[in-house]
Amino acid sequence: MRNHLPSRPSSPRKLRERPVAQAQDPSAARATFARMSSQLTDHDRELLRSELTPQIDEILRDAGELERVEELERFACELLLPFQGGEEGVAGMGEALVEAVAASDAPAAADLLAAFAVLGPGELASAAEAVPGGPSRFEGAVAALEPRAAARVREGAAEILQVRFERPASGEYQLAGLFLELEGTGGAALGGMVTAPTAEPEPFLPAPGGGRPRAIPVGEVAELFERALARTAELGLAVERELGVCLPLIARGLTGSADGLPAVDVELTGDEPEGSGDGESGPLYVDPLDEDAYTLIEQGLLSELDDYLDDEWGAFVDHAPFFAGSLLHWKWGYADGRLGTWTCADLAEFMLDYAPRKLPSDDETLAAAPGCLALFLRFLDDRGSLAGDPLADLLAEVDRLSDQLGEAARDPGNWGMAKSLTSQMAAEGVDLGDQGALDAWMEDFNSRPFEERDRVLGPALDGMASTPAPPVSPQRRGPTKAERRGKRKQARAARRRNR
């Protein structure tokens, strides 16, 4: 099975390519900001320029010439991320960032300054607008979004606010979602995203449990977004990184100004001590307790993957969405929630533990597995969302583990309970697409002698354990960061035990 991984096609369709991972996490630039106070001496200012300018120039050169306006917007918002929320240590640094971009003769520099002028906060935007230079190719198109429709959907203690934007210049549409936590925070916004542009308007997303979105007047959506973010700021909570990146774009589309919505803190990569294991950093992080956020991001990624695939990927196209969904679900439900961050250790756990336990073991599926895993990693890399180990190392690890995956997946001792049951059903000729037949078989199976049932389920029960629900205490101001972190750890532990 080894050495049959797909190479990247010569010109795959990339819906939202962002060529540089550095722009996804400008942590070096942020570290420079954090060492400076808002009151700079002349010596401080010179030191800042000497450190920041070469870093920004390298990022811009790696970016190359950005081809689409949404690529430029994303690139700009990534670099502007440290300035959100009035974070201590970065106030007053916008001028230095603008000067660093203006000093570069990289192809994207002029376009980035134009994006800063539209999407940057206050003084930074003014500084970018004042820089003399050539016109941007995207003049007038940056964040030129018009809200056309809005909806909200509630399920349990969560709510999703959605707004569909149109880009009048291109006739394309983008969907923005804001995820509200009603229980414990009283409607604070903690996550959200903006989907990639599409030629046709996408339908509003339903709730994970099937709840239908309810249309609301477009004129109300800005007030609803503002109220939710104000609640987040009031409680001192930080929004997830993906929402932080998208907020200037959403604010511009709803209010006409990147500063038009309340400022909130953002969970930035590198905020947690190394080795803390909380999994709150990295691109595409989703809280393991936030099923609504995960559902929206998963659907968005799979939609992009569908556009990314074409005939050049060959036989892997048919199986790629299944494996992509499996990888995302494992990363969110069993691992650290960082959907874009992958290490060789992650791949080993998925391929040698989760996949044998959960995924089908037929020859066709197993033959497609290594190629589809490699394809998904390349997809993340092409859209600029891959972090963790280098892509080459990840692909080599997939290749190295391919044979072991096949052996482990065919061993019934590695199967989970659901897989053991469905395999037995198939062996007894049950039509797995017939719900009545499934129910009848389960009723018969439950009446069989214990020894026979144990023979089928066997080791699948070994890893099962019950986990008591965490104690619930009344909170008037919402959970603290430490309490939320504790809930996340409990959720991961419970999922691992009960998989």
Residue 493 falls within a domain, yes or no?
no
Q: Could you tell me the residue range of the domain that residue 340 belongs to?
A: 291-461
What predicted TM-score, i.e. pTM, was given to this entire model? 0.54
In the prediction, which pLDDT does 282 show?
A: 60
Phi, psi at 155, each rounded to 5°? -145, 115
Examine the domain organization and report whether 84 and 164 are in the same domain. Answer: no
Residues 31 and 165 in one domain: no
Question: Do 251 and 309 belong together in one domain?
Answer: no
| Number of folded domains that form the chain | 3
Listed as ranges, residues in the chain with pLDDT below 50 are: 1-3, 9-40, 87-89, 91, 269-280, 459-485, 487-499
In a domain, 367, yes or no: yes
Asked if the structure places residue 253 within a domain, the reply is yes
Residues 422, 322, single domain; the answer is yes
Pair 341, 425 in one domain: yes
Whether 491 is in a domain gets the answer no
In a domain, 429, yes or no: yes
What is the pLDDT at residue 36? Answer: 42
pLDDT at position 28 is 45
Same domain, yes or no: 214 and 351: no
163 and 68 assigned to the same domain: no
* Same domain (yes/no): 120, 177: no
Q: Is residue 215 part of a domain?
A: yes
Same domain flag for 155 and 126: no
Pair 102, 167 in one domain = no
Is 468 within the bounds of a domain?
no
Q: What is the tens place of the pLDDT at every residue in 85-121?
A: 654 445 457 777 888 888 888 888 888 898 999 998 8
Asked, for residue 277, whether it belongs to a domain, the answer is: no
* Same-domain check for residues 160 and 126: no
**pLDDT recorded at residue 472:** 32
Q: Are residues 207 and 356 in the same domain?
A: no
